[in-house]
Structure formats: C-alpha cells, structure tokens
Copies of this chain bind each other. A is one copy, B any other.
Amino acid sequence: MDSEVEPDTRVLDAADALFYAHGVQAVGIDRIRDAAGVSLKRLYRCFPSKGDIVEAYLRRRDEISRAALEEHIAGYATPREQLLGMFEWLRAWFLQPGFRGCAFNNAFGELGAGSEAVTEVVRGHKAALRARILSLVEGTGVADPERLAAQIVVLFDGAITVATVTGSPDAALQARDAVAVLLEHGAPAGESGGTGEPGGSRTSGTSGTSGSRDD
C-alpha cells in the first residue's frame, strides 16, 4: 500500500520531508531517489530537473497549508475569532515535531534571487495569506482594514520567525494577544501611518558606520 501511489507523489513526499528538514541545497537528487524508492530515470521523467521538484514542493505546500488554515478557521464563528484562531493554528504548527520554520521563507532565503520560479511561488503564497487576512479583517468592520491586515501579516510572519529561532511556540500567543489589542483599538492617537516622525526630538544623524552592513 506504499508502492501503489503515483510515483510523482512518492517523489514529492520524499522531497518535501528532505527539503524541509535539511534545506533545498543540502539535499541531493540521489537522496530523494532513495527515499522515494524510484528509479532515477522515472524521477527525471516526472520532474525534468531539480528545480522542478523544488517548485512542485513549494506549490504543494502552498495548497496544503492554505487548505489546512481554511479548515481550521472554519471552526470559528466570527471573523474576529477566525483572525485570532489563525494564531492558535500557528501555535499547533510550532508544536509539531520537526518544525523548522516557514518552508517559503527558508527557500527564499536560500535560493532568493537565484530562482525566478521560487520567488514567484513564495510571493504568491504570502500574497494569498495577506488577501485572506484582509478579507477577514474587512468582516470585522474595523476602520482601516488594509492597515490592520498589513499589521496582522507582520505579526503572523514574525511569530513564525521568532518561533523558528527560539524553538518555543509562545510567539503565537504573544502575536495573538497583539492582534486582539489592535482589533480593539484600531488607530493610535496622533498620526495615521505615513513617513512622519513619531514624536519629534530626533537629535543625531543616522549615518556613520551603519552605512552598508546591518542585520
């Protein structure tokens, strides 16, 4: 009952586990071949190059994670609770053994400018997430949905990054609480979000040794 599934699926299953666990560049074709139990010839018939496997790996992760998130938030009644529930979902993900961060962020950081296809899939994944969050935010009847949605996206990705590095799932709840506050008190007292200075009283320059090399 293992060798009855389609070879492409077996290859993608193997590639998914290996790419996610060790990174794309660290995993060779032979290793995927071994794990999938597929001949090299068949593997190259399903996917003409390693780049195609990587792209399919990310596209499938995109579909699966979108469906899983959708299924999870379907259990909540209101858009507000769905928005908060997304971070419970994040927490459950962080707790899974073998959690190693966002596959899209990892792939983008690893291949980045090198692969146009990867960039496109990663951008699409993040854009879809943002669109979904925006639709939920609009359902809450808040004053400036675009703005709040952008902030929630930042909290979402930030929670993933923090959880990845620290190894703790707490960031999900911290982010969720921040979302709750932002939902309650939409806009701050003063300015509205442009490039303006926060309060004034800036005294020294930004230049100096901080020129070209940073974080």
Interface residues, chain A, with chain B CB atoms under 8 Å away:
16, 21-23, 25-26, 61, 64-65, 67-69, 71-72, 74-78, 80-81, 84-85, 88-89, 92-93, 96, 100-106, 108-114, 122-123, 126, 147, 150-151, 153-162, 164-166, 170-171, 173-178, 180-182, 184-189, 193-195, 197-199, 201-206, 208-210, 212-215
Contact = CB atoms under 8 A, between A and B. Distances in A.
A108 B78 CA distance: 37
A208 B175 contact: no
B72 A210 contact: yes
B157 A72 contact: no
Contact of A22 (B16, B114, B175, B195): B114
Nearest 10 pairs of A and B residues by beta carbon: A158-B158, A68-B210, A75-B204, A106-B109, A154-B158, A84-B198, A157-B161, A77-B201, A180-B188, A65-B215
